[in-house]
Structure 1
């Protein structure tokens, strides 16, 4: 594995300059783009400029067998989360009253909306999930075998599918145009896997559109205002139209509060144009690229708008149930003995799914067999009246991350920050937090990271950590006879690379760059 740990290969300053020029111009030519930051000044209604997305000059080495495994077990994860999302009793127990909903206001609002809709009687039995399962390579010591461990499973607004395809194309282009100057025998076309995530994700949206059964119905993209990552969304929009003839409407949640209508049969109707006087269009699928963070719901009326969207006959991507199923607490409870096996058999991949997990527990847990490394902190907590889960988090703080029920990056508590955080965390709120063993990526891997605006200094070389994401979609529900219906597929991948020592990993949040896979044996 020497070729892996000594990455990237050596190139001359002139070669590095040429690679940077080719990469940035390719990015600008192929929609590998962001809108520029606008600060406190509202952006113009029609974008006048764009910058290339942050990117890596060299693809990231990933052991071939682990990449194949990650893609294979995505099919099992697709089925697993579909089944969890239709288990109302399980979701109520973990995320509902008496659980997370009582101490996490955001989760509580979503759960209460879902509970109210169930009591009314839903009119749409189908759910659509566009998923992304994120992993890190794990090598706790330099002698240990490298394994694949899951960071999290995303059930809402699983972004960067389109841009991940573009950056895979960028690295293939650099290889075809320069051969990377012969810098490494690993940099061959056979080691750069094809990435068709746009086609795959759109296939899931189109499958749901077809299941809705109204050919001229449209798909609603629920988006955030002033979205900088708009090109990642637009590439999906273009594929829907050009390959499937499906039109989309983009609206924010506040815009929907005033423009959406429900027909007597609960069809979701929206003005097809910017004016409220525009003809109304029926919506087949509601695809959320917003709604995953409390800031997306500034008023109670916005929560009511989200509920009204789900009250309609339109297929939700995700439904409130599926969004709740993606909570960190669900991820942790699934690791407990026997819970995963309620939803997934060994023949369906349960063993490989369980093997992809690290140790996790709730801060309020008492029954707590914790595998893994011995604790590193010498802390005497025998007299502290705390649940065992919290005491273990104190003892093992140097090896942990604490996670709340949030998406989008910037929410987790790491290592040295854990002890002071636990000192101030109100006791009832412990049930909304999980402790997770830190994954230890292979050491001494480096990369060249390029961000727009760094032209004066060129690409930045440094030690890096890369996170692999695998995309999938699932269309599922219960038939009228109570039988389970699941259609699903694995559809592509994403790599995000960040500097070593940077805990958070979001590209949109500014921590990471977009990358792709180089298969190594």
Structure 2
């Protein structure tokens, strides 16, 4: 694997200013945008009148071509793995039995799902997954130009965002190359084959359309479940527009509160939405969650009740409650234990999801390909491995990150913050003896060490001035999976996302301006 070049190449101030102007106007003209942060005390307006560019990079960031190809090539194996986990209720229950006592959110999700299983026969056995597997490059050594391999950060089974904006970032960088030639500052920036041909917007929209087709009612719609005051609205809207234009499928976007007001189940468990505009009630074919992944989305039991109402319907959920549970960090850690992955993918007693990879069945080589992308993962329970991990975290915190069962970023504990955080949890345990140790809500993960010496010019959303930053890039690979019941199985890789941030930040939120949406320049 070729080492990464020192980046970026030298540019004049005039060249940077010209690129920034072209990037901004391209972004605004093509929906590579966010809603601006509202003024203090105000809300995002119901009818937008202003937009800002999404955080972006002026140049694509170098990324090893073999690592990019590798990440894309194993996505369908990951799709199959998490489909099997989703259908293996005994496996999920065994994991959640240990997570639920120390994590109220996961407990509520698991218990509500179990109640549905116990009360009724599952109304809709078909699951739709729109996944994203995230990777960082891990460097061998510390010198500039060192070789690097991909290591998985996490696997997302709910609300995998930025598919539309990612495609627009790739298109923007290709446009800048064709328009300006990047002023001949580096030969790779004029090499058309170095720019990725990314169709994540079309591929994810096609995945939603596959779910709609499996439901079987042409007039039914896709329901986007969204957060109130969503600023990343154009990423979502682009999917709606593609669904209608390419697949003749209508969409509607509502919050939990709005669904509670307008939604109802009929006797056949069909979910209908009343229209405040005097139209006929709308049948829902697919429920696509761009919310519901964080405790903040469930401020009262009413939101949980609405989630259960949707889960009981015939609509195909993306994801179902089971598929959301499958994305828990604890599942990631357990799969990494010796033999567990192999048993899940190859074991004859595991659920059949109806597809392998390519033209054949899953193999030991597929298992090895996944394990090759994993870094060290440990429990923090009372097992021998858990005790070992606890000691490692206290004695060598600079090597690790502490991860809870959460999605959405901003939840992890890094490096030297780990020992005092564990001490705080221990003190809380002493105040309530007899309960499961709070640290069992977390897993310990070995830190991935990205290559040094890569920089880029990043532009924060709403700002026009690029800043030179020492950067780290995280590659996400999207996947689409339709499985369960009598549906014709679907298993596809669905494009990529590159998020680039300053090395000084451990977290990577795009909407809050930490990360920029980027694209790879294949080296």
TM-score interval, smaller chain? over 0.9
Matches within 5 A, 1:293-372: 293-345=294-346, 346-347=363-364, 349-368=366-385
Matched, 1:227 2:244: no
Aligned CA-pair RMSD:
1.6
Q: Contact conserved, 1:79 with 1:486, CA < 8 A, in 2?
A: no
Matched, 1:264 2:267: yes
Shift of 1:348: 6.4
Find the counterpart in structure 2 of residue 34 from structure 1: 34
Shift of 1:516: 0.2
Matched, 1:126 2:126: yes
Q: Contact conserved, 1:150 with 1:358, CA < 8 A, in 2?
A: yes
Find the counterpart in structure 1 of residue 439 from structure 2: 430
Question: What secondary structure, in the 3-state scheme, does the structure 1 residue paired with 2:114 have?
Answer: helix
Shift of 1:349: 1.2
Find the counterpart in structure 2 of residue 375 from structure 1: none
Shift of 1:351: 0.6
Q: Contact conserved, 2:2 with 2:64, CA < 8 A, in 1?
A: no
| Counterpart Cα distance in 2 of 1:31 and 1:221 | 19
Shift of 1:389: 2.6
Find the counterpart in structure 2 of residue 44 from structure 1: 45
Shift of 1:5: 3.7
* Structure 1 residues 406 and 460: alpha-carbon distance in aligned structure 2, compared to 1, 3 A threshold: same
Equivalent position to 2:153, from 142, 151, 154: 151
Q: Contact conserved, 1:409 with 1:509, CA < 8 A, in 2?
A: no
| Counterpart Cα distance in 1 of 2:410 and 2:460 | 20
Q: Contact conserved, 2:211 with 2:316, CA < 8 A, in 1?
A: yes
| Counterpart Cα distance in 1 of 2:140 and 2:509 | 23
Shift of 1:2: 8.6
| Counterpart Cα distance in 2 of 1:389 and 1:123 | 42
Matched, 1:217 2:234: no
TM-score for the superposition, normalised by structure 2: 0.92
Q: Contact conserved, 1:59 with 1:517, CA < 8 A, in 2?
A: yes
TM-score for the superposition, normalised by structure 1: 0.92
Find the counterpart in structure 2 of residue 25 from structure 1: 25
Q: Contact conserved, 2:461 with 2:513, CA < 8 A, in 1?
A: no
Find the counterpart in structure 2 of residue 14 from structure 1: 14
Find the counterpart in structure 1 of residue 205 from structure 2: 202
Shift of 1:452: 3.4
Find the counterpart in structure 2 of residue 449 from structure 1: 458
Equivalent position to 1:440, from 444, 449, 470: 449
| Counterpart Cα distance in 2 of 1:3 and 1:12 | 26
Find the counterpart in structure 2 of residue 493 from structure 1: 496
Deviation per CA, 1:123-181: give whole Å up to 9, x if none. Answer: 11100000000000000413663110000000000000000000000000000001101
Deviation per CA, 1:330-350: give whole Å up to 9, x if none. Answer: 011110000101222435611
Q: Contact conserved, 1:217 with 1:281, CA < 8 A, in 2?
A: yes
Shift of 1:501: 2.0
Q: Contact conserved, 1:60 with 1:518, CA < 8 A, in 2?
A: yes
Find the counterpart in structure 2 of residue 104 from structure 1: 103
Find the counterpart in structure 2 of residue 392 from structure 1: 392
Find the counterpart in structure 2 of residue 465 from structure 1: 472
Matches within 5 A, 1:394-433: 394-425=394-425, 426-427=428-429, 428-433=437-442
Question: What secondary structure, in the 3-state scheme, does the structure 2 residue paired with 1:344 have?
Answer: helix
After TM superposition, the structure 1 stretch with the greater mean CA deviation from structure 2, 33-42 or 325-334, is 33-42
